[in-house]
Amino acid sequence: MARFSLNNSGDLRTALFGPGSFKYWSVAPLLVVLVIFTVLPIAQLLQMSVSELEFIEGELVSEFIGLRQLDNLAKDPIVGIAIKNTLVFVVAVVLIETFTGFALAVAISRTTTLSIVYRSVVIIPLLIPPVAIGTMWSLIYDYNYGLITTILIELGVQNPPLWTADPDLALISVIIVDVWHWTSFMFLIMLAGIESIPPSLLEAARVDGANELRMIRHVILPMMAPTILVAMLLRTILAFKVFDQIFVLTSGGPGTATQVISMHIYKVFSEQFRLGYAAFLSLMVAAFMTIFVVFYFWASRVVRRRLG
Amino acid sequence: MREKTVPKVILNVALLIVVFIILFPVFYIVQTSLKSTADIYSGTFFFEAKTRNYEEIFTGSRSNFAELTRNSLIVSASVAVICGVIGSLAAYSISRLNWSRWVTGGILVWLLFINMMPPIVFVTPYYLWARATNIYDTPAAVIMAHMVLNMPLAVIMMMNFFAEVPKELEEAAVIDGCTQWQAFRMVIIPIVRPGLAAMAVLVFVFSWKEFLFALSLTTTSAGRTIPVGIANFVQEFNIRYGEMAAGSFVAMIPALILVLLAQRHIIKGLTVGAVKG
């Protein structure tokens, strides 16, 4: 008995400090970070969602309210609008950026001389701060001194559009900025896809007398279809994150014209100080996105298997 | 031959237009940042360039860009170092040290899952924690959030680099009497150093441009970073366009430097999570 336990602690000691222990030490910091900063917060969201939370003189006061957040959800006049705006935004940007990204990838894969210059320039929008993208475009859209207005007035237009200040145009304005920002992302994935098409296949099509358009239609598109599909799914997931540029360009306005779900949760949290309800909405978003992400994992596995 | 050269010209013209569309807003913000307020309001293209807006944001009494820049540098550099150390250790472990497929698969799926969640999901719990631990409104709170956001990128990028290192190298090192740690430290890390540097730089830039957590976990210039400062310009009743443009350009500098160094490592890092076609 004594010997058994000695052996056991010996094993533990070997595992922790012996020659093979690096295996455990090396991954431990990551696991600690993941458990503390990703698993616990989700548990905390669950707890917050069933609580009324308030800071009274700097002290957090928490009261259990069960499922009463569901009533708050039913009484929230904005959340439906926010979901609708988010869906319109996501569908629009994914469809447009798939097209622009694919077109750009085909075009740049066809050039040889300036290809490196194009590739470097194209990644700029993915690296500059989205907030700065927001200010850049707010200067362009500004209805008093902005670039577009200045040009339109020079051209003799009487009432130039108000862009982000017009409830009917605000969401479209935000979508245009997103296309400028994220086309590059679709381009990078599509370009990798095009470059993995065997050159012999394209060569064979060319020998058979196919022109560029027919090559795209009958060789590149069919070969790329799985990549395009997965890229669209991934972009859909990422598009749901949209926040920064909308915060800068419109703050969700005018009215609720560009109120998206992240913006709405942020306002519930920072302007209405309803921490519990914000947590509840966050949890809903997390649950909804989980379905999407699981579907993405499944689809990308199928595609990877098909591509071998 | 002739039919082939004509489309090439059209193609390049089309691509130059794309390049123009991408670069023009950047150019426009630089131009605005060098204008006086009067020139901005008149919308002129011909003006006398002045650096007054830059002086104003860094040294003016109405602005706190010096502090914001300091915070941004502290946050981004810390996050790059933390993600570099934790990420490369973990990536090496799960790609090389014979973990079962369930462990490596589980960690990878969880990292991608975190990467895909809208960050707003984590805002309320992090806010409570920052308040509870008294790091609210300090760079430490922002570092905490950015470290988590960038960990998936760090681990997955490093796993790709380790996959390219031949296994024989560390086997030889272990036979020569190295421990696993020594093999990692003295043999593997020097080989992947360019990749490690690319990852750290990319994490630096991603942390530098992050806005939501920098906004939610801070309230004064004690903890705020540059993007929050820029957003504040827009929220003001009388927008100071010139200073806003100057601040935005300062915020873009790390990204523009990175583009000049652009290489395939960076491009790979930008699409982490995408299926390799």
pLDDT in tens, A14-71: 767 777 788 899 999 999 999 999 999 999 999 999 988 888 777 788 888 888 889 8
Instruction: Please indicate whether, in this complex, the C-beta atoms of B251 and A131 are within 8 angstroms of each other.
Output: yes
Number of domains observed in the structure of chain B: 2
Interface probe for B, chosen from A16, A25, A27 (most Cβ of B below 10 Å), is A27
How far is residue B241's CA from residue B69's CA, in Å, rounded to a whole number?
19
Question: Does residue B97 share a domain with residue B26?
Answer: no
Instruction: Please indicate whether, in this complex, the C-beta atoms of B90 and A27 are within 8 angstroms of each other.
Output: yes
pLDDT at B263: 67
pLDDT at B4: 52
pLDDT at B66: 92
What integer is the mean pLDDT of A151-179?
Answer: 90
Question: Does residue B121 share a domain with residue B76?
Answer: yes
Domain containing B204 equals 64-270
Interface of A with B in 158-217 (CB under 8 A): 180, 185, 188-189, 192-196, 212
Does a structural domain hold residue B119? yes
Show residues of chain A in contact with B251, CB under 8 Å: 128-129, 131-132
pLDDT bucket at B277, cuts 50 / 70 / 90: very low
pLDDT at A5: 45
Show residues of chain B in contact with A155, CB under 8 Å: none
Lowest-confidence pick of A240-249, B207-216, B236-245: B236-245
Show residues of chain B in contact with A248, CB under 8 Å: 230-231, 234
Give the chain B residue nearest A206 (alpha carbons). B4
Question: Does residue B12 share a domain with residue B90?
Answer: no
Show residues of chain B in contact with A288, CB under 8 Å: none
Question: Does residue B15 share a domain with residue B118?
Answer: no
- Could you tell me if A265 lies within 8 Å of chain B, comparing CB atoms? yes
Residue A113 in this model has a pLDDT that exceeds 80: no
Of residues A114 and B67, more confidently modeled:
B67
CATH number at residue B98: 1.10.3720.10
Does a structural domain hold residue B43? no
Residue B257 in this model has a pLDDT that exceeds 70: yes
ipTM of predicted complex: 0.90
How far is residue B214's CA from residue B69's CA, in Å, rounded to a whole number?
13
pLDDT tens, position by position, A257-269? 999 999 999 999 9
Contacts of B136 (CB under 8 A, 6+ apart): B127, B130, B217, B218, B219, B223
pLDDT bucket at A157, cuts 50 / 70 / 90: confident
pLDDT at A10: 62
pLDDT tens, position by position, B191-214? 999 899 999 999 999 999 999 999
pLDDT tens, position by position, A79-108? 999 999 999 999 999 999 999 999 999 988
pLDDT > 70 fraction of chain B, expressed in percent and rounded: 94
Tell me which residue in A60, A139, A304 faces B29 most closely, judged by beta carbons.
A139
Report CA-CA distances (Å) from A122 to A108, A171, A183, B75, B256. 10, 24, 9, 27, 12
Helical (H) or strand (E) element with A46: helix A40-49
pLDDT > 90 fraction of chain A, expressed in percent and rounded: 52
Mean pLDDT of chain A: 88
Q: Which fold has domain A69-307?
A: MetI-like fold (1.10.3720)
The residue among B229, B236, B202 whose CA lies nearest residue B214 is B229
Residue B1 in this model has a pLDDT that exceeds 60: no
Show residues of chain B in contact with A147, CB under 8 Å: 28, 43
DSSP, collapsed to helix, strand or coil, labels residue A61 as: strand
Question: Does residue B258 share a domain with residue B130?
Answer: yes
